Structure formats: structure tokens, C-alpha cells
């Protein structure tokens, strides 16, 4: 009886470890949570899909407010968009199609302030278009 209980305990332990592992599914290609590559965009590509929809499917955390509501208005709590080093409001990403994009990158507030100056307390979604990326 003791050996049987020990055997089942061992099997349970092995199964638990296997279930707790991260696995390798489709996220194996995703090496950086701050970058969306052309490969990832091609995998989810649908006709006339906007960049904002792609971000919503691949990295929804980029679109979450990063400062408390009591400090800023809702529209000011979201990251800005930088498309080929030109600043746009985040809503502009609804107009941009994923076919025109080479790479998307989330730049945190500290790095954005270092690169572009003040006014980026919630970070930046940097867009590299296909024409500028090639």
C-alpha cells in the first residue's frame, strides 16, 4: 500500500510540474513583450485590420492606463503614438493598416522622455512603417 501511494504521489508531482510549465505554443516566437514583429502581424492578418485592433489582440496591456485617474484625464492616461518619429494621438492607430507596418514597439515613459522629451508619462507606441523600415 505504501509503494502504491508513493507511486501515485510521484506521478502527481510529475503531472503538476508539466502543467505548470510555460509550454512552447505560439508564444515561443514572441521573444519580447515590448515588440510586435512583422511575423506576428502576418499571423493575425485579416483584411483591413487596423494597427489598434492588432495591438488589442497581441499586446492589450499596451493600451491600459498607467497613471491614476485622479492625476490625469482618461485620454491623457494612454500612451502616445510615434509613427516614423512623428507624434500622433493614439486614436490615429485606428486609421493605420497593419499591411503598412513593419514593427510596433512599446517604449516606457522613462525611455520615451529620454528620446523625445517630456510629455510621455504613459509611454509611447512606436510604429515603424514598411516604407521606412525597408
Given a cut of 80, whether residue 56 has pLDDT beyond it is yes
The alpha helices in 21-78, defined as continuous H runs, are 38-44, 51-58
pTM of this prediction exceeds 0.85: no
- With bands split at pLDDT 50, 70 and 90, how would you rate the model's confidence at 5? confident
Look at residue 95 and tell me if it is in a domain.
yes
- With bands split at pLDDT 50, 70 and 90, how would you rate the model's confidence at 15? confident
The pLDDT assigned to 18 comes to 60
Q: How far apart are CA 132 and CA 123, in angstroms?
A: 22
CATH value at residue 54: 2.170.130.10
Look at residue 116 and tell me if it is in a domain.
yes
Could you please report the per-residue DSSP string of 65-80?
A: --S-TTTS-GGGGSPE
Look at residue 61 and tell me if it is in a domain.
yes
In 3D, which of 128, 125, 113, 131 has the Cα closest to residue 52?
Answer: 125
Look at residue 96 and tell me if it is in a domain.
yes
Given a cut of 60, whether residue 118 has pLDDT beyond it is yes
Task: Domain count for the chain, please give it.
Answer: 1
- With bands split at pLDDT 50, 70 and 90, how would you rate the model's confidence at 34? very high
Look at residue 42 and tell me if it is in a domain.
yes
Look at residue 54 and tell me if it is in a domain.
yes
Look at residue 2 and tell me if it is in a domain.
no
Residues constituting the chain: 134
Q: How far apart are CA 36 and CA 112, in angstroms?
A: 17
- Domain interval for residue 81: 32-133
Given a cut of 50, whether residue 24 has pLDDT beyond it is no
pLDDT tens column, 65-110: 876 654 545 557 889 999 999 999 999 999 999 999 999 999 999 9
Look at residue 52 and tell me if it is in a domain.
yes
In 3D, which of 125, 83, 128 has the Cα closest to residue 101?
Answer: 128
Amino acid at each position: 500500500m505504501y509503494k502504491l501511494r508513493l507511486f501515485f504521489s510521484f506521478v502527481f508531482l510529475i503531472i503538476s510540474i508539466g502543467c505548470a510549465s510555460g509550454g512552447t505554443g505560439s508564444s515561443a516566437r514572441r521573444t519580447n513583450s515590448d515588440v510586435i514583429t512583422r511575423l506576428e502581424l502576418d499571423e493575425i492578418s485579416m483584411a483591413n485590420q487596423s494597427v489598434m485592433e492588432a495591438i488589442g489582440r497581441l499586446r492589450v496591456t499596451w493600451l491600459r492606463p498607467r497613471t491614476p485617474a485622479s492625476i490625469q484625464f482618461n485620454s491623457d492616461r494612454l500612451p502616445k503614438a510615434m509613427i516614423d518619429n512623428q507624434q500622433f494621438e493614439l486614436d490615429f492607430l485606428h486609421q493605420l493598416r497593419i499591411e503598412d507596418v513593419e514593427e510596433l514597439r512599446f517604449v516606457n515613459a522613462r525611455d520615451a522622455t529620454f528620446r523625445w522629451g517630456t510629455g510621455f508619462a504613459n509611454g509611447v507606441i512606436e510604429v515603424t512603417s514598411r516604407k521606412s523600415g525597408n
